[in-house]
Amino acid sequence: MDISVEGKSISLAQGAKFEDALRAALSGKRLKSVVAASCQTGNVCGAADSKCVRYDLSAVIPENCVEIEPVYIDSPEGREMIRHSASHIMADAVKRLFPSAQVTIGPAIENGFYYDFDYERPFSQEDFEAIEAEMKKIISADVPFVRSMLPKAEAVELFRAMGEHYKVEIIEDLQVDEVSLYRHGEFVDLCRGPHIPSTGYVGAFKLMSVAGAYWRGSEKNRMLSRIYATAFPTEKELNAYLAQIEEAKKRDHRKLGKELELFTFHEDVAAGMVFWLPRGMLLRTILEDFSRKEHLKRGYEIVQGPQVMKVDLWKISGHYDNYRENMYFTEIENEEYAIKPMNCPAHMLMFNHHIRSYRDMPVRMFELGVVHRHEMSGVLHGLLRVRQFTQDDAHIFCRPDQLEDEIIGVMDFIKDVLQLFGFEFKVQVSTRPEKSIGSDEAWERATSSLIGALERIGMPYTINAGDGAFYGPKIDVKLMDALNREWQCSTIQVDFTLPERFDCAYVGEDGERHRPVMVHRAMLGSIERFIGVLTEHYAGAFPLWLAPCQARILTVTDNQAAYAQEVCDRLKALGVRAEVDLRNEKLGYKVREAQVAKIPYMLVIGDKELEEGKVNIRPRKGESLGAMPVEEFAAMVKEECMEPFKRGGMSYTFS
């Protein structure tokens, strides 16, 4: 059979293995760095209709395979495989040290892996040294991972004889005739695979933490010990990752939020809900004002819907059937109401408020809408995962012929905003999930429109199969912060279904009623989450235009107190966010406190500045700028605030 490997055509006998094909096409370091192979039987791997499957190198090449794509150890897929295989190695080590421990599941996760164990006592970090030492022995032995297939009944008996009751339960729940097993050395585990060729491919690893986890996520089941770890192809990559974690701890928005007095939480009275302190609320207000102004400039109308609406509305929208586990409900005068988890149903009612003409289209409605979602307490995480949050949410009602242009307009908006904050980003198209509403035709039209818009503007994208909203496919924009971590904030969703359910219509040029298409989109996403991301991205040192306090006035002695207050008042009148420190403390102490508070500018006033009617400028970073008049400093602040907007080709007016 003739097969292409990275553009090179090779001929192989039937029954050849992937490792045979790769040896024929590759050599040297490239060959040694391959850990698996993807076999393509349709279009390019990753495309919407791809038939691309990953295989072990020792697997026989399927007869319908037309192209093989090597999976390299340093690729994202390769790192995922390293971690998946390392989880088996960790389970093996635990079983060697603690033979009565039962193994359950051990998947690769973002940046690492975990394995859940049932043992007579919870594991602790004191166990890590011994487990790591045993893992090193297994890795040094460089034993191969070997796949085998076993009839379901035989697999049940195998694991029952081993005393692995959790594996037995998993297998019995599978609707299959046979299952795949992987063995390295004496250790055997239930697994779909694929795996790296041998244990020696795990270059570096580290056990990170341990936590409790209920079996299958249910509080009714037994509590297990979950050991988290990470693995990389090389020690250098592991060390870089560990250094990044340490930097992330310093940037943790929960820590900085407390230190900078931005926000707080009171889990005893309002778990998952934020108490905004004055500085944080000012930061949030600046961000929201920016969002409102930008939306108005781009043709959006600002609206606001109610917080609580009858359950009947949510049944029409499909949220009740597809989302109610995330919703809060209440009763008013014996009728059931829901606290809104999303803004879209209210916007559809507002669209139907009067008859629309095709000339009125598109209609763009924007709302900074407060929503509530029932999140489990275990997943709440500072500003990043809350139960009450505000979306910079918008819904665009347009004619089908306007759809791609509207998607492109939103993408341009997203690009401008993310570049303003210094974020790079990448794009995914998330397709139809199993739990969804609407016809196949509607989903195909919506998905084609998203992909068509991205291809028109030359925007690279990948497919995230099955992760769309229940009412439509979406573009997910994932930004990368200063530590190169990914965050999903912006989204564009195309919906042909809800306008149908709410009987939305406009009068066409032919005088007939026509159904609009609805685009759901968020720019920053959750305001709370975005501020959390920004806080960590900037390490709390917000750019001047966003800083809650732009300048702190510091006096040398009490003699300058009256002038310092006058300067503060003048700066505020000139649009500079300023505060004054009149405490009877040494200047050095005041300067250090202002630096810790990450104030962009410190304005020092001594007798000389008092006499000359000036202020001495000390930036947060860098050398003193010397003395200058108050008005000159205010003009400098305004000019500096405009710099990031000018770099992005945006115009903006500060109020």
User: Any idea what the Cα angle at residue 201 is, between residues 196 and 207, rounded to 5°?
Assistant: 100
In angstroms, the CA 473 to CA 530 distance is: 23
Active site residue 391: yes
Active site residue 520: yes
Three-state DSSP at 488 gives strand
Nearest to 414 by CA among 375, 355, 457: 457
Q: Which residues contact 172 (CB under 8 A, 6 or more apart)?
A: 156
In angstroms, the CA 27 to CA 58 distance is: 17
Active site residue 344: yes
Active site residue 373: yes
Packing angle, helices 527-537 and 235-251, rounded to 10: 120
Q: Say which residue the tokens 């009148």 belong to.
A: 573
In angstroms, the CA 515 to CA 503 distance is: 8
DSSP state of 241: H
Longest dimension (CA), the chain: 93
Which residue among the candidates 347, 372, 474, 529 is catalytic per the annotation?
Answer: 474
Which residue among the candidates 520, 529, 598, 614 is catalytic per the annotation?
Answer: 520
Helix (H) or strand (E) holding 204: strand 204-214
Active site residue 488: no
Which residue among the candidates 347, 373, 387, 521 is catalytic per the annotation?
Answer: 373
Nearest to 449 by CA among 541, 369, 518, 524: 518
Which residue among the candidates 84, 189, 387, 391 is catalytic per the annotation?
Answer: 391
Nearest to 524 by CA among 499, 546, 550: 546
Which residue among the candidates 83, 319, 387, 395 is catalytic per the annotation?
Answer: 395
User: Any idea what the Cα angle at residue 438 is, between residues 436 and 442, rounded to 5°?
Assistant: 120
Nearest to 89 by CA among 16, 141, 162: 141
In angstroms, the CA 372 to CA 64 distance is: 50
Which residue among the candidates 92, 392, 393, 495 is catalytic per the annotation?
Answer: 393
Dihedrals φ, ψ of 227, to 5°? -100, 120
Note whether 602 and 552 are within 8 A (CB).
yes
Active site residue 549: no
Q: Say which residue the tokens 């406009």 belong to.
A: 506
Catalytic residues: 344, 373, 391, 393, 395, 474, 520
